[in-house]
Structure 1
Amino acid sequence: MQGSKFVFFGGKGGVGKTTVSSAYGLKCAQVGQRTLVVSTDPAHSTSDVFDQQFDDEPRAVEGHENLFAMELDPEEEVERHMMEIKQRMGEQVSPAIVNELDRQIELAHQTPGAYEAALFDRFIQVMRESDEFDRVVFDTSPTGGTLRLLSLPEFLDDWIERLIDKRSKSIDLFEKAAIGEKSARRKLESDPIIAHLKQRKEKFEFAGTTLREDADFYLVLNPDELSIRETDRAVASLREFGLEVDGLVLNRITPAPDDDEQGRGARYLRDRVATERERIAAIRDSFGIPLVGMIETRVEEVKGELLTDVATELDMDISTEAPA
């Protein structure tokens, strides 16, 4: 089966998502695919991996043909999202209530879900503007909060229809006597609030269709109990929204000592390796999801040639299917 254009890597914090997604992006670029790696890590780890600074616009990765990267700052995305809403709403209300409206919008952006909504909007924008790339790799999988946004089109459809009906009746009653029914209908068709809601509905429909039909989801985990439990929850969350996990990448596996090593450190490593092998066997049995990567712990930070080595340890399909 051929892979999808959009690839998401998820997992709990600290498991190595950025390393794995960067290695996968490099693997795709090495076979000639124009590949974009998109990071939402506030720590800007992608810049560390490639020893190059990135921002919120695609930039070529130095020393790697066909590879591009960009880093989205979640805080900046929330701020940008808030400013866009303030501007849009400010155009629709009287000057007398603009200050109060701004205050309410700022309060709304401090509530749970604002971060996900802002980031999800940016995800959609990146996907829609990615025609020049064969593959787009996101180093974070959508959270439960962002996935819940996929259920909005159905809700918005009913809401918009009811709003249109109410707006239609009010416009009809207010305007019909003075300017005629046709003028009222034209005003309804050009209503900016309804137009924006329709755009939002279409945006979420695009996201839902794309994530279900042209996206692959991989989860990165470490061989420890906390990471395994978090992965189990992530699998369930994705399935709740009709999205299946295509594979698991097991990162930071302890290398076994040589047979002739008998010191205290070697005994510790053997015990740890034995424990991890039990956990790996349990992962294979309980998840029923292919293990597409088994990456051993490196002594040094993974970058440069080490990143190329990690890329070879990913047993993932890097062929893409031509867009329909």
Structure 2
Amino acid sequence: MEPFVFFGGKGGVGKTTVSCAYGVKCARSGLETLVVSTDPAHSVTDVFDQPFGDDPESVDGVDNLDAMEIDPDTEVNRHLEEIRNDLSEQVSAAMVNEINQQLEMAHRTPGAYESALFDRFVEVMREADPYDRVVFDTSPTGSTLRLLGLPEFLEGWIDRLMHKRRKSIDLFEKAAIGNKEPRRVMDGDPVLARLQGRKEFFEFAGGALREDAAFFFVLNPDQLSVNETRRAIAEMREQDLSVRGLVANRLTPEPDPDENGRGARYLRARVATEAERLQQVRETFDPPLVAEITTRTAEVRGDLLDEVAEELDIETDAREPTFV
């Protein structure tokens, strides 16, 4: 299977638990594995009961497994600082203050978060050589889909910017030296070089997501979760990204046959309702159910994480990446 595996879904469905369990499953099979959290909740620290930061660290008690948590605020600040430094080298001192003001405003826009986070997880993909498998615990569905839709959108946007930049250089140089070949284009324009670098970055991202990544959605057996998953699958299809499988999480355990109290009757009613939802998923969704995970009485950590890992019918073999 592809070297990069993404788990997404509605907020609170248990993506982190499933992602960590699959990471454990891959590591137990002998793969050098990295679990990456791009979810602001950062529950990977809670699941493994140890702190993680922006750099990969070994998971205690599990050979071959590392984890890291990407902090969105840190990434936004880093992203904007890189832009500020690049632009400051290419414009006059009089424009630096104006640039800083514009960047401060950009810092507060929703797109800044997605763009910075996208850059960081693509960097992780590009630098994944030490690992056979990288598992991404993504943010809730809407944010994830905006991230995955960036390459196609931004490739075309950068093409238009590069065209306009070449046109402006051409007009400027012709006005200055006559109808000759524009010197700045021949000598290497720094703005064009920057745009070309970004274009190559997004080309890599788009190719890696389509050729080297497998996507799974985690859902709960309730109608809201089922509906959102249906919409997410359709949006992924529009972006030429297919969902490999679905994980039904937090299923209600069925009581023993001889239990007839109020609690048992409630549980049986819940089980019946959830069975209808799962049947709906099986009959109307293209991606198959690859796991049906029952709710545990304790938080899923340690040995319980291994139990969940065994319930995931997702292969662990990882092929070499195409775009890295």
Identify the TM-score tier after normalising by the shorter chain. over 0.9
Name 2:218's counterpart in structure 1. 220
Q: Report the CA distance between 1:188 and its aligned residue.
A: 4.6
Name 2:69's counterpart in structure 1. 71
Q: 5 Å matches for 1:156-175?
A: 156-174=158-176
Q: Report the CA distance between 1:83 and its aligned residue.
A: 1.2
Name 1:254's counterpart in structure 2. 252
Aligned partner of residue 78 in structure 1, secondary structure: helix
- The reply on whether 1:95 has 2:97 as its aligned counterpart is no
- The reply on whether 1:145 has 2:146 as its aligned counterpart is yes
Name 2:313's counterpart in structure 1. 315
Identity across the alignment (%) = 57
Provide the rounded CA distance (Å) in 1 between the counterparts of 2:156 and 2:40. 33
Provide the rounded CA distance (Å) in 2 between the counterparts of 1:123 and 1:188. 34
AA aligned to 2:168 is: K
Aligned partner of residue 78 in structure 2, secondary structure: helix
Q: 5 Å matches for 1:268-279?
A: 268-279=266-277
Name 2:282's counterpart in structure 1. 284
AA aligned to 2:193 is: A
For the Cα contact (< 8 Å) 2:166–2:185, is it kept in 1? no
Q: Report the CA distance between 1:8 and its aligned residue.
A: 0.5
Once superposed, which parts of structure 1, at least 4 consecutive aligned residues long, lie more than 6 Å away? none
Task: Tell me the alpha carbon deviations over residues 142-162 of structure 1, each in whole angstroms, 9 at most, x when there is no partner.
Answer: 623223312221332243133
Please give the root-mean-square deviation of Cα atoms over the aligned residues, in Å.
1.7
AA aligned to 1:171 is: E
Name 1:242's counterpart in structure 2. 240
Aligned partner of residue 36 in structure 1, secondary structure: strand
Q: Report the CA distance between 1:237 and its aligned residue.
A: 1.4
112 and 323 in structure 1: CA distance in 2 versus 1, 3 angstrom threshold: closer
Match of 1:7 among 5, 8, 16: 5
> Structure 2: where are the runs of 5+ without partners?
none
Q: Report the CA distance between 1:309 and its aligned residue.
A: 0.3
267 and 47 in structure 1: CA distance in 2 versus 1, 3 angstrom threshold: same
Provide the rounded CA distance (Å) in 1 between the counterparts of 2:270 and 2:291. 19
Q: Report the CA distance between 1:21 and its aligned residue.
A: 0.3
Task: Tell me the alpha carbon deviations over residues 85-144 of structure 1, each in whole angstroms, 9 at most, x when there is no partner.
Answer: 111112222222212211111112212321111111111110000111000110016623
AA aligned to 1:46 is: V
Provide the rounded CA distance (Å) in 2 between the counterparts of 1:158 and 1:90. 23
Provide the rounded CA distance (Å) in 2 between the counterparts of 1:253 and 1:310. 13
AA aligned to 1:106 is: E
Provide the rounded CA distance (Å) in 1 between the counterparts of 2:223 and 2:268. 18
For the Cα contact (< 8 Å) 1:7–1:137, is it kept in 2? yes
Task: Tell me the alpha carbon deviations over residues 207-249 of structure 1, each in whole angstroms, 9 at most, x when there is no partner.
Answer: 0001001100000010011111111121111111100100000
Aligned partner of residue 166 in structure 1, secondary structure: helix
Aligned partner of residue 317 in structure 2, secondary structure: coil
Name 1:208's counterpart in structure 2. 206
Q: Report the CA distance between 1:44 and its aligned residue.
A: 2.0
For the Cα contact (< 8 Å) 1:168–1:188, is it kept in 2? no
AA aligned to 1:165 is: K
AA aligned to 2:145 is: G
Q: How many residues align?
A: 318
AA aligned to 2:5 is: V
Provide the rounded CA distance (Å) in 2 between the counterparts of 1:320 and 1:229. 31
For the Cα contact (< 8 Å) 2:151–2:203, is it kept in 1? yes
Provide the rounded CA distance (Å) in 2 between the counterparts of 1:62 and 1:237. 38
Provide the rounded CA distance (Å) in 2 between the counterparts of 1:42 and 1:161. 37
Deviates more, 1:282-291 or 1:135-144: 135-144
